Amino acid sequence: MSSFDANRHRQGHASVNGLKMHYWVEGNGPPLVYIPPALGHAGMKSFPELARSHAVISIDLQGHGRTADIAARALSLEQHAADIVELLRCLRISKADFLGESFGGAVATIIALEHPALVRRVATYGATFGPAALAHNLDMLRFDQPPTADSRGFRYQRASYREVAPHPEHWSTLWNKVASIRWEGFSDEQLGSIEAPVLIAVGDQDFVRIEHAVASFRRIPNAELAVIPDASHFLLFSEPERLVPVVKHFLEKPEHRPPLATAQMGYQPGETR
């Protein structure tokens, strides 16, 4: 059982692997860890619907938001996962649900693989699970000129970072570190070994190819798939109300439910669904 006290830990910094890692909590209930996308941080989004039934713990990863960078330490998804695991230990959380957005979804999946006892369920949006060449929708990632930290496409994240970062002048450093991350995804064997239920949600106009989401869904034993129509990679910024109910249903449904009906079984009230 978790001994996490949401009322005691509303926000703060924890000493984690050399970081002073910032976290922010809204709501009460079982812990739900929100892992933001690259260049995101706690407070850029709020989840009042989820906070009605969970203590939603939003995290500032290394160099992001209010968590100062470690200059000599590169950014990696594996290191982010290790930092989050240590943060949960500091907060006395022994088991949690996870909501990971974009590369935050891959980080949550790494935690599910390496620390299965810590993970109840994992919900992802716009996450990749394999090599970029297979996962990415190149039409949605095209730039007319090579992107930089000052590109218009990052204006919102840049302004948000500078509002809260302990060293606002470090934006370019963070952007370059994020751009330098190289991650080749999970092997089929790793995906097949994931024990926790995983929700793979993606927009139909996402940075992530629908075909990649479907392939990942097929490989993860307890996976569920949601394709949100008329939605980009930034759905949780622009229209969170279209995704949050899907996530809430996934996290809160009973573990044991009537089986899904095949044609032969048909719909039988109370027996199939």
Task: Tell me what pLDDT residue 119 has.
Answer: 98
CATH number at residue 247: 3.40.50.1820
Q: With respect to residue 93, please indicate whether it lies within any of the assigned structural domains.
A: yes
Alpha helices in 115-252 (DSSP H): 132-135, 155-164, 171-179, 188-192, 210-219, 235-238, 244-252
Q: With respect to residue 263, please indicate whether it lies within any of the assigned structural domains.
A: no
Positive or negative torsion for Cα 143, 147, 153, 157: positive
Encode pLDDT of 166-199 as tens digits: 999 999 999 999 999 999 999 999 999 999 999 9
Half-sphere exposure of 255 (CA within 13 A, CB side): 3
Q: With respect to residue 107, please indicate whether it lies within any of the assigned structural domains.
A: yes
* pLDDT tier, 234 (very low <50, low <70, confident <90, very high otherwise): very high
Residue 117 DSSP code: G
3-state DSSP assignment of residue 93: coil
Q: With respect to residue 3, please indicate whether it lies within any of the assigned structural domains.
A: no
Encode pLDDT of 131-167 as tens digits: 999 999 999 999 999 999 999 999 999 999 999 999 9
The pTM assigned to this predicted structure is: 0.95
* pLDDT tier, 1 (very low <50, low <70, confident <90, very high otherwise): very low
Residue 27 DSSP code: S
Ramachandran region, residue 18 (left: φ > 0; alpha: ψ -120 to 50; beta: rest): left
> How many domains does one find in the chain?
1
Q: In terms of residue numbers, what domain contains 122?
A: 11-252
Burial class (CB in 10 A: 0-12, 13-18, 19+), 135: buried
Q: With respect to residue 260, please indicate whether it lies within any of the assigned structural domains.
A: no
Contact call for residues 65 and 23 (beta carbons, < 8 A) = no
Q: With respect to residue 133, please indicate whether it lies within any of the assigned structural domains.
A: yes
